[in-house]
Structure 1
């Protein structure tokens, strides 16, 4: 017998506007998630306004659907008051949960209300049981796991925690770990951690191997994944312990929402009812039609770099029809693999998606010149495009043909959510009693949520002369619930004697009862709301001399050796392979320099051995980069300083205080902050425990997808790729000619670094005035000589012997590609 029969699995749908919301409800979503104004990770969606919250929640609760507000971005210091207002509005409107990324916001919500539900966003980069445990003190109701977790890992996490786990099952995939992509911030000042992703992963890149361009044919989109579609893995996901299935798509159409929600509703219901569910060919095809860049299971079945992306196109395609066999005078001949009819949209794919493509509506279908009526399921067919849509002289034999739209499908989907939703009915139970000379008393109970109302007749019961009240008669009268969301499930009647009341009175009682039950459904959930606490005042800093400590982060033994020969206070080692850390510690000991070793940015189940290996190398401190690593080390009560890195995404003083209160000795602010946002935070945060990175190659993409394995190997993952990363160096060359280095870590994850160094030298006077003592300079591929030169420049600036502007000019003059201020520039 299936042990997962009747298991409650939530289906969570994306809504970017009212049409999408109605589509989600009408097609069976258990819950929806949506944004309010600019404070969410999809600022380009229509989104809703704060004053709409009560109406939205009343509508959702009418149909027993939960509503979650996405506040899944980093919150800057000057936004904390606005954030508090939005949280208060959500509490008062009875929102079912806030989906949160920012740790400071999480802390503030818990201070405001002890019981308001918080969901940990995938932007938190939670990928292990230890990371889930880190969130336990804040009573997180649900945790959204990273899209890189496999089914095996999900099951491992589920077995170690009672916290419900939410997993993405359908929609666009980010190539970078959510919460760890800084590309949009670096190149356009549009942070993905602020809902402004510029989709740099969808751009073409040339693959540079050891400085030479690798010929890739028509493959140029080396970071653009296919779309996730896990509908055929619904049984495995349920059995792995997933509590909520999340669909991506707050920028998508209501027809997309209707389509995807209905398909996953069917899959969940059939499996939990005992059916051996697998999606049909038609189901998959219709999902592809609504939106698809090609479908993939992502990482759910484990890592297979060859299946994650296609590489030849970055945008929606739809359903694959076939390739052009022959060009006719007014048509193309194609052996189609999927149904096609008049009015469908098609596009001809010549392998150059960056250029204008030929496409339009199908005007006619023919076989050997004769028109063919209706839909053609498959086979050799002449496709006649609209005369003004397609220039056939630009179409070539071999071009792929995609079906981009299906008006019949869209019309069918639209009908599901247009007008009032009437199919979703909820059972009521009635208990009625009375006696002659007394009112008829009826208790109506909403079976789903247990709400009850008691309604009395305004006229007393009278002795029945002909037809006394019966259970059947009351069921007939009170069962007429059309136009409401209720249906009569059960009625119990206890009467003394044969009595009657006018039918008009029965109808009134029914109307009053259903109105009151509906009002109870729509009433906001009640939460505790504490008195408003003031945010922290600006730090009072004593006018005293402080020592400015310079820290060098090195990524090679040559750099470690060079840094140790300077007057840096600390050396950090951030090597691709942590197995080389003992040698770095040995060099630091030789020069009597304290050394910290960096953890990977991602912590997966089964990777505690990596963290333990770092301890065995006997460093003087550890640079901690993930929630899982923070939890692993702090739970051991180590007598070893722990420094929190930028990847913890600390963007306000409350987040800084949270991590410092959880055992970190000092923390590094998020790279999402520009100089003004940094100053705003540092005016309030404990600056003696803050560390600033003032020179680096910004790490842009951080991804489970390995470019080395995908394009330099016949293998599919680290077990059979032959380790090309140990033999070669890859860079991705963008459209302007900059080559961005790609480096691998111990977990085979790739980081793409910005080609141009970033310097905050010009802002040093401000940071020094604020009392910052710890300044980090990061190196990537620099020689030992260059390391010494750069550290000397910053040392002179910190000692007041050289201006920040002078450092900037010197770096710009000596660096081949120049230097950038990066995201620090005040926008």
Structure 2
């Protein structure tokens, strides 16, 4: 069975999802959810949510898909134990360390890997399965062909997004909101800077804002992929949206999709239409919502005349009193009231009519969109809060006989049954109980999810049972059935204590870059060199040339690996054969391959190492600590792990990787007709503060956005070293050779001094600090994220 998985940001949305045909819902508690701006569910509400959903045989998955700090791990485990005890069907997570602990403390709790874990190739999915994950939510950047390949070759259940908002970045790898505003997408607080205006190639637009995904019209193709679950995005959306979209996808899956379903979904929310994203081909400008990042609604018509604050409109669609109308992209809108046609007030107008209504600020010629449809909203509301909402049929059996306990059994359509016993009935002096009276009392189920459809009774003709007692039996039986359906489990006590390790002192300086010219110029200043990373068009050379020149360089594998996977594996085999054994790896899938070849592995940023348990979750020599932790949190992490740790102390912070080419799309082109508009060079996105963020294309037409400033901890290196971190990473991207040499010299001097327990501003260090001057950021070292 193909599962339809719906979002629920609150109890109303949950009911909207269930009553419109969802097979499962995913929701967040008020603790550790990746959608902190949603209403979310407190613990009592979670219990009610599970009871309600399970009554309808709908599964409940709870998101705990944020990265966890050391100080939060015990609380998160206790929360997971609570979720397990109340019958939650699965928990959705991002954090590798948390996954490790869940398998230890709650081995029977089903775990799903969030799309925040960036699983986008078969090996990554298989690795997660090996770690105890039952289901993997795939990255939204994959094509149907890529999904089918994974599906046919994995042991894991697969879940894919089929509708809703798209992140322009690979989820779980975006630091844009975090770096710009301190609100981390990995912590559920994304401020969506991607939905803001930027200037690229002197063109101001919403260059990073994609349309929403919709797959309604090719669900049949998706059915053939072999995936287990189809996911609708939208925990921030209102319940009417959930009801509308879920009912449409239910119809599509059941082969009953109509034109009106598509029209309703378009009306309820769209950003200038929809996109199929990367499912069929790499889309260009047609994937983006350049003019407006919010809901567009549907085209209504143009203003043909203005009199004061009233407008006359020639309609090209139906309009009702209570509909929301906006002047496109001007921020001017109104809920239609007192609409007139030929001087008479009307409630409803048709396409082709000319009508008048109040809309202050509009001008002749303005384009109007209908942003909300009152009839659609009312129809959606009726589906989850109306008088005739979907209820679950139950059969009842009651036995009322002299000198025997009264027996009441109820059974729902899913086969779940409970029995209730009560004291024997009294002998009737007059007016004995009748089957009609029993049915009347047992049918009073309106305040429950159930409706009585069939009653079987064994009834002596001279007994009496008070109506109050029948009502009490009914309530008790239904409560017992709901309790049974909830599926409570035994409570698990969490006794988590993290072992404290001894602090290390000696530091190594490590160079990481994809530029051979820089490695050749500065390698002598570094203890280790890792070369490669993303195949950026500005990078140059190859690792074999460096090795042939006598430079000991080790491979560096980036966090995103798609088309290039086989090429990377072949290169790693070659390097293994010539004695190269150490790899800096950011990709989960390649990690699995490296383990099979017995490489020594350092974990890069793709693994999001946020706590000490994550350093121990998989076999590794060491790991890069997340750039979102502050110095105090880093120190706490280091003190609780025996693994080597690395800190990023110089370089531009990569804020996102996108499979979309902003550069080509801004010129109206996609990869299919790409004329290398990028010219193999760096481009710049300029924000409203005139900060310029580097956009660097790679050889696979993915775009990489880097911070406008350079993280440089040269002046504060003592603070970094006092965390106990072992290795200090210097990363070069767009520096000149001369600048790279000066920076390398300065860091070498600084590390040598600190290893000798001294530090001062030398001439080289002072020169570099003055050279960088206002280009420097300290990242999160002193502020951190919430």
* TM-score (normalizing by structure 1): 0.85
Q: CA deviation at 1:359?
A: 2.4
Q: Is 1:518–2:475 an aligned residue pair?
A: no
Between the aligned partners of 2:683 and 2:760, the Cα distance in structure 1 is 33
Between the aligned partners of 1:429 and 1:757, the Cα distance in structure 2 is 69
Q: Is 1:287–2:250 an aligned residue pair?
A: no
SS at match of 1:761: coil
Between the aligned partners of 2:479 and 2:251, the Cα distance in structure 1 is 27
Between the aligned partners of 2:705 and 2:743, the Cα distance in structure 1 is 22
**Deviations along 1:498-525, whole A, 9 cap, x unmatched?**
9546364799568526632432323542
Q: CA deviation at 1:429?
A: 4.6
Structure-2 change in CA distance of 1:158 and 1:476 (3 Å): same
User: What is the aligned partner in structure 1 of residue 4 from structure 2?
Assistant: 10
* Contact residue 331 and residue 383 of structure 1 kept, 8 A: no
Structure-2 change in CA distance of 1:534 and 1:189 (3 Å): same
Structure-2 change in CA distance of 1:518 and 1:62 (3 Å): farther
**Deviations along 1:374-404, whole A, 9 cap, x unmatched?**
433323x445342xx4124xx252x321112
Between the aligned partners of 1:525 and 1:19, the Cα distance in structure 2 is 22
Q: CA deviation at 1:728?
A: 4.2
The one of 68, 86, 104 equivalent to 2:97 is 104
Q: CA deviation at 1:102?
A: 0.7
**Deviations along 1:777-806, whole A, 9 cap, x unmatched?**
001111122111111111111111774877
Q: Is 1:560–2:519 an aligned residue pair?
A: yes
Across the aligned residues of Structure 1 and Structure 2, the Cα RMSD in angstroms comes to 3.5
* Contact residue 706 and residue 750 of structure 1 kept, 8 A: yes
* Contact residue 364 and residue 383 of structure 1 kept, 8 A: no
Between the aligned partners of 1:804 and 1:226, the Cα distance in structure 2 is 52
* Contact residue 429 and residue 491 of structure 1 kept, 8 A: yes
Between the aligned partners of 1:313 and 1:323, the Cα distance in structure 2 is 18
User: What is the aligned partner in structure 2 of residue 378 from structure 1?
Assistant: 351
User: What is the aligned partner in structure 2 of residue 71 from structure 1?
Assistant: 64
Q: CA deviation at 1:755?
A: 1.6
Between the aligned partners of 1:624 and 1:261, the Cα distance in structure 2 is 40
User: What is the aligned partner in structure 2 of residue 793 from structure 1?
Assistant: 746
Between the aligned partners of 2:234 and 2:54, the Cα distance in structure 1 is 22
Between the aligned partners of 1:13 and 1:120, the Cα distance in structure 2 is 16
* Contact residue 165 and residue 234 of structure 2 kept, 8 A: yes
Unaligned runs of 5+ in 2: none
Q: Is 1:304–2:276 an aligned residue pair?
A: no
User: What is the aligned partner in structure 2 of residue 264 from structure 1?
Assistant: 249
Structure-2 change in CA distance of 1:10 and 1:287 (3 Å): closer
Structure-2 change in CA distance of 1:329 and 1:424 (3 Å): closer
Structure-2 change in CA distance of 1:696 and 1:428 (3 Å): same
User: What is the aligned partner in structure 2 of residue 537 from structure 1?
Assistant: 499
Q: CA deviation at 1:819?
A: 0.6
Q: Is 1:184–2:177 an aligned residue pair?
A: yes
Unaligned runs of 5+ in 1: 1-6, 208-213, 272-276
User: What is the aligned partner in structure 1 of residue 22 from structure 2?
Assistant: 29
Q: CA deviation at 1:451?
A: 3.4
Between the aligned partners of 1:685 and 1:712, the Cα distance in structure 2 is 49
Structure-2 change in CA distance of 1:658 and 1:821 (3 Å): same
Deviates more, 1:310-319 or 1:26-35: 26-35
User: What is the aligned partner in structure 1 of residue 635 from structure 2?
Assistant: 679
Q: Is 1:480–2:443 an aligned residue pair?
A: yes
SS at match of 1:724: coil
The one of 721, 729, 733 equivalent to 1:780 is 733
Q: CA deviation at 1:556?
A: 2.3
* Contact residue 553 and residue 778 of structure 1 kept, 8 A: yes
* Contact residue 296 and residue 307 of structure 1 kept, 8 A: yes
**Deviations along 1:592-623, whole A, 9 cap, x unmatched?**
3322223242234x653132243155273332
Q: CA deviation at 1:732?
A: 0.7
Q: CA deviation at 1:220?
A: 0.9
> What pairs up with 1:209-248 in 2 under 5 angstroms?
214-216=201-203, 220-248=205-233
SS at match of 2:142: coil
Deviates more, 1:736-745 or 1:52-61: 52-61
Between the aligned partners of 2:209 and 2:720, the Cα distance in structure 1 is 39
The one of 570, 575, 579 equivalent to 2:529 is 570
* Contact residue 539 and residue 683 of structure 1 kept, 8 A: yes
User: What is the aligned partner in structure 2 of residue 628 from structure 1?
Assistant: 589
Between the aligned partners of 1:779 and 1:618, the Cα distance in structure 2 is 23
* Contact residue 428 and residue 445 of structure 1 kept, 8 A: yes
User: What is the aligned partner in structure 2 of residue 423 from structure 1?
Assistant: 389
Structure-2 change in CA distance of 1:458 and 1:610 (3 Å): farther
User: What is the aligned partner in structure 2 of residue 813 from structure 1?
Assistant: 770
User: What is the aligned partner in structure 1 of residue 295 from structure 2?
Assistant: 316
* Contact residue 204 and residue 735 of structure 1 kept, 8 A: yes
Q: CA deviation at 1:40?
A: 1.1
Deviates more, 1:317-326 or 1:100-109: 317-326
The one of 449, 453, 458 equivalent to 2:424 is 458
* Contact residue 401 and residue 424 of structure 2 kept, 8 A: no
> What pairs up with 1:542-553 in 2 under 5 angstroms?
546=506, 548-553=507-512
* Contact residue 10 and residue 243 of structure 1 kept, 8 A: no
Structure-2 change in CA distance of 1:578 and 1:10 (3 Å): same
* Contact residue 699 and residue 754 of structure 1 kept, 8 A: yes
Q: CA deviation at 1:36?
A: 2.2
* Contact residue 116 and residue 527 of structure 1 kept, 8 A: no
> What pairs up with 1:728-747 in 2 under 5 angstroms?
728-747=681-700
SS at match of 1:148: coil
The one of 98, 109, 113 equivalent to 1:120 is 113
**Deviations along 1:21-80, whole A, 9 cap, x unmatched?**
333334333333222225111112222323543343334334443332211110011111
SS at match of 2:695: strand
SS at match of 1:705: coil
SS at match of 2:356: strand
* Contact residue 50 and residue 86 of structure 1 kept, 8 A: no
Structure-2 change in CA distance of 1:514 and 1:363 (3 Å): closer
Between the aligned partners of 2:564 and 2:470, the Cα distance in structure 1 is 64
User: What is the aligned partner in structure 1 of residue 369 from structure 2?
Assistant: 402
User: What is the aligned partner in structure 2 of residue 640 from structure 1?
Assistant: 599
* Contact residue 565 and residue 591 of structure 1 kept, 8 A: no
SS at match of 1:391: coil
Structure-2 change in CA distance of 1:467 and 1:569 (3 Å): closer
Q: CA deviation at 1:758?
A: 0.4
User: What is the aligned partner in structure 2 of residue 825 from structure 1?
Assistant: 782
User: What is the aligned partner in structure 2 of residue 47 from structure 1?
Assistant: 40
* TM-score (normalizing by structure 2): 0.89
The one of 111, 130, 138 equivalent to 1:145 is 138
* Contact residue 564 and residue 571 of structure 1 kept, 8 A: no
Deviates more, 1:78-87 or 1:555-564: 555-564
* Contact residue 341 and residue 376 of structure 1 kept, 8 A: yes
**Deviations along 1:350-392, whole A, 9 cap, x unmatched?**
xxx4xx633223346566x55584433323x445342xx4124
Aligned residues: 773
